[in-house]
């Protein structure tokens, strides 16, 4: 029976990955903030991923076959007062880089044949001139999140090249599910539309209806993470659908599904957007070629699944 540690197990991806691995009969140890929980019911003390000794004790005792480093620190693009905050730099670096290095160092020092997956982001590409982006698109991040996630990718590259550690990075494009928080536009649209349908909200204000992104279903993306760690050789992989959709596409599908006329309720306010918009669409042909992965859920099916899990479609 395989064993896996998921760092960041209570987020959207961590929750879905936990269930996927349990279905595959893994013993799963989840680490999130100060909490640790194991699928076999065993008791574990709290782990501080920023403390090398704490991480070492966890890995040496549990002896996982795989580690999924999914921890992430998100901050809203609408919080302009905070974008240059030293607190955001510190938190982003700690979660995206320092904790990762602790895990990689423990793997190196224990000489264990542990496989590591690091969840990175398409934001590492900054404002890419190449569309779609691939694994060889220049890394040129333009925001704190992208800069620190890019550093994490470089750390994986370093330990893979210089210490022969199986460290793969997934360059993740937008992926959604009912587990997304309301700070993401997908859930903002869905939950606002539901509130409007129930007469509990009058309007939905969005920044840019024409904004485009490569959106996929999160359950498909965690399957890609698992497949990447089953390969013979570690590497970096774009995880994306390769298809662009607009915010308006979200609005039209959600409101139509709820028998609402979106123009009666939705207002566009472009002043809400504080960051320059870039076109992020990924080419995951490398991943598909090596793992046979393919997104099994279409854009429309993803939205319908999210509405069903909110209890408004059957």
> Residue 313: pLDDT band by 50, 70, 90 thresholds?
low
**Structural tokens at position 262:** 């979106």
| Interval 82-121: pLDDT, tens | 455 889 999 999 999 999 999 999 999 998 799 999 999 9
Strands 245-246 and 212-213, sheet pairing = antiparallel
Query: pLDDT at residue 226 above 90?
Result: yes
Please list, in sequence order, all residues whose beta carbon lies within 8 angstroms of the beta carbon of residue 257, skipping any fewer than 6 positions away.
Answer: 303, 304, 307, 313
Q: Whole-prediction pTM value? A: 0.94
Burial of 248 from C-beta contacts in 10 A (0-12 / 13-18 / 19+): middle
Model pLDDT for residues 256-312, shown as the tens digit of each residue: 999 999 999 999 987 776 666 788 999 999 999 999 999 999 999 999 999 998 877
Which domains are present in the chain? 3-175+217-241+281-296 (3.40.50.720)
Q: How far apart are CA 37 and CA 44, in angstroms?
A: 7
């Amino acid at each position: 029976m395989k064993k896996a540690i998921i760092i960041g197990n209570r987020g959207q991806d961590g929750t879905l990955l936990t269930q996927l691995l349990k279905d595959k009969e893994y013993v799963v140890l989840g680490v999130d903030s100060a909490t640790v929980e194991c699928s076999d019911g065993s008791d574990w003390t709290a782990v501080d991923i920023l403390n090398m000794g704490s991480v070492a004790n966890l890995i040496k005792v549990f002896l996982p076959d795989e580690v999924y480093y999914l921890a992430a620190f998100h901050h809203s693009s609408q919080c302009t007062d905070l974008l240059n905050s030293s607190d955001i730099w510190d938190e982003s670096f700690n979660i995206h880089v320092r904790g990762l290095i602790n895990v990689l160092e423990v793997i190196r020092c224990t000489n264990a044949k542990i496989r590591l997956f690091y969840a990175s982001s398409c934001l590492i590409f900054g404002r890419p001139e190449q569309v779609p982006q691939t694994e060889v698109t220049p890394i040129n991040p333009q925001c704190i999140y992208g800069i620190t996630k890019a550093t994490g990718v470089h750390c994986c590259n370093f330990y893979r090249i210089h210490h022969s550690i199986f460290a793969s990075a997934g360059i993740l494009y937008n992926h959604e599910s009912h587990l997304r928080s309301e700070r993401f536009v997908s859930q903002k649209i869905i939950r606002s539309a539901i509130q409007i349908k129930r007469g509990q909200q009058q309007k939905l204000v969005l920044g840019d209806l024409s904004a485009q992104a490569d959106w996929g279903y999160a359950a498909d993306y965690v399957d890609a993470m698992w497949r990447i760690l089953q390969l013979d050789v570690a590497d970096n992989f774009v995880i994306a659908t390769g298809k662009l959709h607009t915010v308006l596409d979200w609005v039209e599908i959600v409101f139509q599904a709820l028998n609402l006329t979106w123009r009666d309720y939705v207002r566009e306010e472009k002043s809400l957007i504080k960051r320059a918009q870039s076109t992020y669409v990924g080419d995951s042909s490398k991943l598909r070629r090596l793992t046979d992965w393919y997104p099994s859920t279409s854009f429309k099916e993803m939205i319908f699944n999210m509405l069903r899990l909110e209890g408004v479609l059957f």
